């Protein structure tokens, strides 16, 4: 039994070694890369042999008029034209086209055939996911369509022109939540539209230009309560439009929470939701002693200008020119309120301005007096009919906030 089993093991081992070679060769000969390499090699050898042999006598030429053409070259050209024709027919006839389940022609993003496609198509990205579903013409995405990201979330749906958002549409956040709905021009918000936060609440609706809030519009808080209606430029509120308005008119623009500071002759209202306050005094020319806004204070240490935020006096000089006033100044009532409000969140200048006041209501304070010896440093610049004054801790290159007045206002 020992010898028999030994011979059987040798026989099985021999058969395995023979079969291993056959299996290896079978796998090799059926491998697509091997087959493709062989085919390409045969084609290359065929054309090399056809084009590499020089004609030896006139029977190797076709004679057309005074011209003689190599027969081998002509054969090669006929074969090449035939292959190209077969490829073109196969790619352009419905028999070989790639359709999605709904019968819409599907192209890869870099397909040459996409350049001649017209009408409703689908386009896949490099990694294979559906990137676009909509209209194309002349090699461009045009008309109505929908753009997707690799997760399958809709990025944009609306109208296109030459691969850009153009006309009207909706743009989504990466999560799929609505970001913007309205007009577009060259991929940017343009015209009228509505901007949304990522939690779905409305942030702004109104006019846009160059992708930013420009023109008239309305701001909303996170509860979608309207807080401000007015003019915007490059995403920022144009605060100067409040100058000269009555307090009642300002209330129709700003509907958010206000904190009011009053004296017998003047008042300051902090507009918390838009980071500003206004100063108003009774209008002597008005029959009803109506208070009129004569200055607006912006509680920010930068000035929006030409799509940038100007933060230094040096840069302000480049924008406005030389200041019309520079120097120390005793604090005035609205400045004192602004300083104390900013000091609630960050330390500025010399701390709070002392005030003698009573507070009958949580959002109303009656001020009997304040420290008028508190000193600030002011740089004032004139631009058109307005004066911009920047409040600083001292002579230097930075400011803590600024305010806007009319050019004829002595408080500037």
The DSSP letter of residue 54 is P
Pick the closest to residue 210 from 230, 197, 193, 225 (CA basis).
193
| pLDDT value at 94 more than 50 | no
Domain 106-233: assigned CATH number: 2.20.110
Alpha-carbon gap, residue 241 to 251, rounded angstroms: 13
Are the CB atoms for 316 and 369 separated by under 8 Å? no
Average pLDDT on 84-90 reads 62
Which has the minimum average pLDDT: 32-46, 152-166, 388-402?
Answer: 32-46
SS3 assignment for 332-377? CHHHHHHHHHHCCCCCCCCCCCCEEEEEEECCEEEEEEECCCCEEE
pLDDT at 412: 37
Are the CB atoms for 337 and 270 separated by under 8 Å? yes
* Cβ partners under 8 Å of residue 212, min gap 6: 189, 232, 234, 235, 307
* Cβ partners under 8 Å of residue 184, min gap 6: 158, 159, 165, 166, 167, 168, 169, 190, 191
| pLDDT value at 25 more than 90 | no
pLDDT at 79: 74
pLDDT at 40: 73
| pLDDT value at 245 more than 80 | yes
Average pLDDT on 4-30 reads 67
pLDDT at 30: 72
Q: Which two tokens stand for residue 308?
A: 């940038």
Average pLDDT on 297-323 reads 95
| pLDDT value at 89 more than 60 | no
Which has the minimum average pLDDT: 45-54, 170-179, 221-230, 302-311?
Answer: 45-54
Q: Which two tokens stand for residue 126?
A: 């490099």
Average pLDDT on 22-46 reads 71
pLDDT at 372: 95
In this structure, how many other beta carbons lie within 10 angstroms of the beta carbon of residue 379? 22
Confidence of residue 261 (pLDDT cuts 50, 70, 90): very high
- Dmax (CA) of the chain: 130
| pLDDT value at 286 more than 90 | no
Alpha-carbon gap, residue 210 to 202, rounded angstroms: 20
Query: Could you tell me the sign of the dihedral formed by the alpha carbons of 44, 47, 51, 52, in that order?
Result: positive
Confidence of residue 132 (pLDDT cuts 50, 70, 90): very high
Q: Which two tokens stand for residue 158?
A: 């609306």
Q: Residues 44-66: pLDDT tens digits? A: 666 666 555 555 666 666 677 66
Mean pLDDT of all residues belonging to the chain: 87
pLDDT at 36: 73
Alpha-carbon gap, residue 220 to 201, rounded angstroms: 9
Domains in the chain: boundaries? 48-96, 106-233, 244-406
Report the SS3 class of residue 107: strand
Count how many residues are written for the chain. 412
Alpha-carbon gap, residue 76 to 46, rounded angstroms: 9
Q: Which residue has the tokens 């623009």?
A: 253
pLDDT at 411: 44
Alpha-carbon gap, residue 92 to 117, rounded angstroms: 10
Q: Which two tokens stand for residue 228?
A: 């401000």
DSSP 282-318: E-TTSTT--EEEEEEEE--SSEEETTEEE-BHHHHHH
DSSP 195-240: EE-TTS-EEEEEEEETTEEEEEEEEE-TT--EEEEEEEETTEE-GG
Alpha-carbon gap, residue 367 to 147, rounded angstroms: 59
Report the SS3 class of residue 156: strand
Which has the minimum average pLDDT: 30-39, 274-283, 325-334, 378-387?
Answer: 30-39
């Amino acid at each position: 039994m020992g010898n028999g089993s030994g011979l059987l093991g040798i026989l099985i081992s021999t058969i395995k070694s023979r079969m291993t070679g056959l299996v290896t060769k079978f796998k090799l000969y059926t491998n697509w890369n091997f087959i493709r390499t062989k085919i390409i090699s045969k084609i290359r050898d065929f054309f090399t042999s056809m084009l590499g042999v020089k004609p030896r006598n006139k029977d190797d030429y076709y004679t057309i008029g005074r011209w003689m053409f190599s027969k081998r070259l002509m054969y090669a050209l006929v074969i090449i034209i035939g292959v190209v024709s077969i490829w073109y027919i196969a790619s352009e006839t419905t028999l070989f086209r790639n359709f999605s389940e709904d019968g819409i022609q599907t192209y890869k993003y870099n397909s040459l055939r996409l350049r001649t496609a017209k009408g409703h198509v689908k386009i896949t990205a490099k990694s294979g996911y559906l990137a676009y579903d909509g209209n194309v013409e002349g090699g461009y995405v045009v008309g109505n369509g929908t753009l997707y990201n690799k997760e399958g979330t809709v990025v944009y749906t609306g109208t296109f022109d030459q691969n850009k958002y153009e006309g009207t549409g909706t743009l989504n956040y990466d999560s799929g939540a609505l970001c913007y709905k309205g007009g577009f021009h060259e991929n940017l918000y343009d015209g009228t539209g509505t901007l949304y936060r990522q939690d779905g609440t409305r942030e702004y609706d109104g006019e846009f230009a160059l992708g930013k809030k420009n023109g008239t519009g309305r701001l909303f808080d996170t509860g979608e309560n309207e807080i401000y209606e007015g003019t915007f430029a490059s995403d920022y509120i144009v605060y100067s439009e409040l100058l000269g308005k009555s307090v009642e008119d300002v209330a129709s623009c700003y509907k958010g929470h206000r904190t009011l500071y009053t004296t017998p002759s003047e008042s300051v209202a902090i507009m918390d939701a838009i980071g500003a306050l206004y100063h108003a005094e009774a209008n002597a020319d008005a029959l009803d002693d109506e208070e009129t806004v004569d200055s607006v204070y912006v509680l920010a240490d930068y000035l929006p200008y030409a799509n940038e935020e100007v933060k230094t006096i040096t840069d302000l000089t480049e924008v406005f020119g030389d200041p019309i006033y520079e120097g120390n100044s005793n604090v005035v009532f609205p400045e004192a309120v602004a300083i104390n409000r900013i000091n609630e969140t960050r330390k500025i200048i010399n701390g709070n301005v002392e005030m003698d006041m009573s507070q009958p209501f949580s959002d109303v304070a009656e001020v009997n007096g304040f420290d008028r010896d508190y000193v600030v440093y002011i740089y004032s610049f004139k631009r058109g009919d307005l004066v911009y004054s920047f409040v600083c801790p001292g002579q230097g290159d930075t400011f803590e906030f600024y305010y806007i007045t009319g050019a004829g206002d002595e408080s500037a």
